[in-house]
């Protein structure tokens, strides 16, 4: 799955301290249509926020006491300035909910 499918969580894992949950987003899209790409990314992030808020992870980690969430995004292509601003803004808002966004860009497309 990937950023284009906002009905599926791409990957789920516990943090090393077992107090948090990591949700993976894989993003293979180029930024030619930046606006549409950001809309898809926003929809995927919103789905993950719902997943965390509704504690849907309890189906997998029944006996765990999850204290925080991390949305980890792996981009294939370098981000635009607007994408970086978007992620920074979203991260600031999510911090209040105990959710953090982390992201990286594939080694092959870094400047």
pLDDT in tens, 71-83: 999 999 999 999 9
Q: How far apart are CA 35 and CA 56, in angstroms?
A: 30
pLDDT in tens, 85-104: 999 999 999 999 999 999 99
Give me the chain's average pLDDT, please. 91
pLDDT at 49 over 90: yes
Report the alpha-carbon angle 71-72-78, nearest 5: 130
Q: How far apart are CA 87 and CA 101, in angstroms?
A: 8
Q: How far apart are CA 34 and CA 73, in angstroms?
A: 17
Tell which wins on pLDDT, 91 or 59: 91
pLDDT at 111 over 60: no
Q: What is the mean pLDDT of residues 38-49?
A: 95
Share of the chain above pLDDT 70, in %: 95
Residue owning tokens 């992030």: 45
CATH class (in words) of the domain with range 11-109: alpha beta
| pLDDT bucket at 2, cuts 50 / 70 / 90 | confident
Helix spans in 1-111 (H) = 34-53, 81-95
pLDDT at 6 over 90: no
């Amino acid at each position: 799955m990937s950023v284009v499918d906002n009905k599926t969580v791409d990957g789920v894992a516990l943090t090393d301290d077992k107090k948090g949950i990591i949700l993976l987003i894989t993003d293979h899209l180029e930024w030619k249509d930046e606006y549409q790409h950001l809309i898809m990314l926003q929809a995927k992030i919103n789905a993950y926020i719902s997943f965390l808020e509704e504690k849907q992870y309890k189906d997998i980690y029944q006996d765990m006491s999850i204290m925080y969430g991390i949305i980890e995004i792996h981009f294939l292509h370098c981000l635009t300035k607007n994408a970086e601003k978007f992620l920074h803004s979203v991260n600031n808002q999510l911090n209040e909910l105990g959710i953090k966004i982390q992201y990286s860009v594939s080694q092959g497309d870094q400047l």
